[in-house]
A and B are shown apart, each in its own frame.
Chain A
Amino acid sequence: MFVLSQIEHNLPMPPHLLSRPLLDAIKSELERLFLDKVVANLGLCVSVYDIRSVEGGFIFPGEGCSTYKVSFRLLMFRPFVGEVLVGKISGYDEKGLHVSLDFFSDICIPGHLMQYGTARALDGRWMLKTEDGDELYLDIDDEIRFLVSSIKYPPIPVEQKEDDRPFAPMQIIGSIKGDGLGLLAWWAADEEDGEDEAER
Chain B
Amino acid sequence: MKIEKANAGFLTNFEVLDFLRSRGAKIDPMGCLGAVAASECKVYEYLLKTPACNQTRESIDEFVTRCESFKLTNADKLNVINWRPSSAADAYAMIEECGRRFSKDERGEAHNEDERVKEFLELVKEVLPPPPPKPEAMTE
Across the interface, name the chain A residue whose C-beta is closest to B93. Answer: A180
Cα–Cα distance between A8 and B93 once the two chains are bound (Å): 38
Give the number of residues in A that approach B within 8 Å (Cβ atoms).
47
Assess the A73–B8 pair: CB atoms within 8 A.
Answer: yes
Residues of chain B contacted by A31 (CB below 8 angstroms): 37
Contacts of A36 in B (CB 8 A): 37, 39
A187 B87 Cβ-Cβ under 8 A: yes
Beta-carbon nearest neighbor of B2 in chain A: A8
Q: A residues near B, CB below 8 A? A: 1-10, 31, 35-36, 41-42, 46-47, 49, 71, 73, 75, 77, 80, 82-84, 86, 101-103, 137, 139, 142-143, 145, 147, 178-181, 184-185, 187, 190-191, 194-195
Give B residues with C-beta under 8 Å from A. 1-11, 13, 15-16, 19-20, 23, 37, 39-40, 42-43, 45-46, 50, 75, 78-79, 82-83, 85-94, 96, 138, 140
A-B contact pairs, 16 of them (CB 8 A): A3-B7, A3-B10, A6-B8, A7-B4, A9-B1, A35-B39, A71-B4, A80-B10, A84-B82, A84-B83, A102-B46, A103-B46, A179-B89, A180-B87, A180-B94, A190-B87
